Amino acid sequence: MALIIDGKKIRDHNLAIMKKEVEELNSKNIYPCLCVIIVGNDPASRVYVNNKKKACENIGILSREYALPTDTETSELLALIDKLNNDEEVSGILCQLPLPVQIEEKTVLERISPEKDVDCFHPYNVGKLVQGDAVLKPCTPNGIITMLDYMGYNIEGKNCVVIGRSNIVGKPMAQLLMERNGTVTVCHKKTIDLKNITSRADLIVSSVGKPKFLTADMVGEGAVVIDVGMNRDENGNLCGDAVYDEVEKKASMITPVPGGVGPMTITMLMKNTILAEKIKN
């Protein structure tokens, strides 16, 4: 029976520490400020943005929202980003994805100043991550590292398998595990004999985005399973990549969905905003 990695508990622990950091900064007239840009009316994006605003309020970070209409052009969005880049009161800038089809996403993300890029999507910050010199780190992967630290799990020397090679989770996750001296294998849709690879892993991070993808026969006895998937099952219920009831019986530790990795992503966004303000000062 696996030990459950409680993302909400770890989130609350970290946010309490950050709240004290913000109070200390405020006492020196330093005020971390996060600007979130949302373009259009995507319901999921609206939920995410609201959750980010709530997290800011809970720990005392100032937040600004810029809600733009769906028909916004790339040039208009870039003009707003330029304005925020030059605003001394702004610590961090986040542009909520996905963007409408007419907007050049890559151009937009590269326009955000690397010092204010709290999502860590800018090529400069990606490069710093690869070099092992990153200060601001990608939110979901860094949240996973924070969870493992909280649970007392030592990554060094472990056989780590990351399933998925996205720029948001898979690739940066592999980098952060290597920073901790894990031996990392990155698997993807072209990987041959995936089961053979995952069944020998000490740690599995699955970020595939497919319900019931990670089955019990793919997991070795005592492995740690981090499930990044946010999916809906056949009944419309939120679930991860893993067949939870089966995998949980073989794993030593596992993250639930919901309540596992999800809460940590916004937590690390708050951490990056505070760090960005500290660097600025």
List, by residue number, the catalytic residues.
52, 96, 119
Q: Is it true that the peptide bond before 98 is cis, omega within 30 degrees of 0?
A: yes
Cβ atoms of 49 and 83 closer than 8 Å:
no
Q: How far is CA 94 from CA 2, 60, 151, 238, in A?
A: 36, 18, 29, 26
What is the edge-to-edge ordering of all strands in the sheet holding 183-187?
A: 3-4, 253-254, 224-227, 203-206, 159-163, 183-187
DSSP 2: P
Angle at which helix 123-131 crosses helix 170-179, to 10 degrees, equals 30
- CA 103, CA 191: separation in Å to the nearest integer? 33
